[in-house]
Structure 1
Amino acid sequence: MTRWVSSVNKPENESSVLTMSTETDLLTPLSRQFFDGKLSTDDVLETTQTLQFPFADVHSREWYVGGLRVGYSDWRVNQRVQLDWAMESPTDVITLYINLQGKTTTRRILKERAFELGPHQHNLFYSPVNEGMLQSENDGLTTFMIQFSLDTFLGLSREANDGLKRFADQVVLQKPVALSPTTLYLTTGMRQAVTAIIQCPYEGGLKKLFLQAKTLELLVMQAEAASQTPPPAGGYIKTASDKERLWFARDYLTRHLASPPSLSQLAREAGINEYKLKRGFKEVFGTSVFGYLSDQRLELAKTELLENKRTAGEIAFTLGYSSLQHFSTAFKKKFRVAPSKVRA
């Protein structure tokens, strides 16, 4: 059972706080069967749910296949809201949690402190008992998760990297554990995989293969991200506000791949000085602003080539390359194959 004890807060600069205490079971019949260990199907099962509260409209979607539960939840709030949650499951589940908007806190993973995920952050969790808190931003709270049954996860982790194997060892001992001791930032590849799952165009057997492939892809990318050396303590970017500005800058670049802003324009759009943008971008995302822009253009080009949407020349022109030759050279350098060979 998932219980939501909701505490609705007005903005911090207002002295009065409106508090509502209710308990609501948000689990669908399919999710109850999954957590009880009674859901067994080779087909893809999907369910949607829309709920209305005084403080929010909630739309959620769930997909089930084999020992996987995939969930997407979007809360459209009319005021800032804080939600305490608790989940009780008769069976062990491992949760790959991606916080897209708002803030999620879980209290049972680390003994010394609560574990907090902000916007665009993720981690892999296990705990026999789960409880925590969700906090919205001004207009919403959006989360995505993949939950693995115990047998499914142990089967996948058996041939995985050392980090996932150590994680699985703790799960077997029923000890609360997080894959990474610090929060991980969402990569572009992970974001694309999440979007692909939510917008999956396939049906039947193809949909089953697609969901299995994408969930495994997300687990692999998360394991790889966790294995990378975290940035040293006391880095240049110290405040949550600066990190949010850098994430805005990255998202702004992603939306303007064809006609990207100059560095000074991007700094103005993000509300951060140019030096902090350059140094902070490298620290948070592990690449320069120009390097990120180049990678995103090429990833988009590869996707369009694979989907036979446009010719290489059309893609090069749309993405702002000065010539087809310039585009082909950059593409081959990144992917070690010419654009003309991608469709072969």
Structure 2
Amino acid sequence: MPVKIPDSLPARGVLEAENVFLIEEHRALQQDIRPLRIAILNLMPTKVATETQLLRLLGNTPLQVEVTLLHMASHTAKNTSAEHLLEHYVSFAEVRDQAFDGLIVTGAPVETLPFEAVDYWEELAELLDWAKTHVFSSFFICWGAQAALHRYYGIGKYELPEKQFGVFPHRLLVRHERIVQGFDDVFYAPHSRHTETRRDDILAEPRLVLLAESEEAGVYLVQSADRRQLFVTGHSEYDPCTLQGEYARDLGKGLPIGVPKNYFPEDDPTREPLVRWRGHSNLLFSNWLNYFVYQEAPFELDVPSAKGGRP
């Protein structure tokens, strides 16, 4: 089934060229089914690229998904045009009275700041509190995961001596959970961050379950005990050349940056990157949409509701 997005969204042309299943708004309105309502709070500076990455993954399922793109009104975007935000995004204030099947909160380039020092923290904290009653299942990525763990569970983040940068092997700690159904015992995922969430902090919180980790990159996949929240510390949504672009950007700025690990063949940045995370990435998003959103969220979303199955 397709992803329903506005006809004018820039990602549409890229996704159509890749044969990702999309549907025009007027066609979706004629179908007698209810699409899944997914809100995406896009905190990344490269908003169009991130939209495309996430929509590509949401479109690789047999479910119709209606996406609402959110931005923080308390923050002025420097890398995205005001016209793009006005045409395709809404503020949290515009949806606070609505309910959604799912919410995705992306990473953000603010991880070295204390949470409360981020200029939109107060608005984000309000949204995270709202999500507990107005969203059935939430999916938090990288800094978004750290922010949600801090807000919900008081779990901190810790600065790393150098950037965790590259593609790392991870192993499953729990195999019976549906979110990891179909995963290999060892799978790969990209990371690009200056801070970490510590294993001992997760294990000390009985309301959280550590599902997967990396010997080198640390905590990767965490789930709330009620299975309503998913925290991913890496960037499974990244395109094949995203890390390459970040590496070139940091080099150009004269920042201290190493070659992303396990990414270029023989760690040679003149060679084409090797993609080893695409299968895991598609499984992660399709499992979330199917088992934790479609199969569990109530059909009626007019008001916040308790857990109930779809008819």
**TM-score range normalised by the length of the shorter chain:** under 0.3
Q: Which has the higher contact order (CA 8 A, sep 6+)?
A: 2
Which of the two has higher C-alpha Rg? 1
For normalisation by structure 2, the TM-score amounts to 0.25
More helix by share: 1
TM-score (norm 1): 0.24
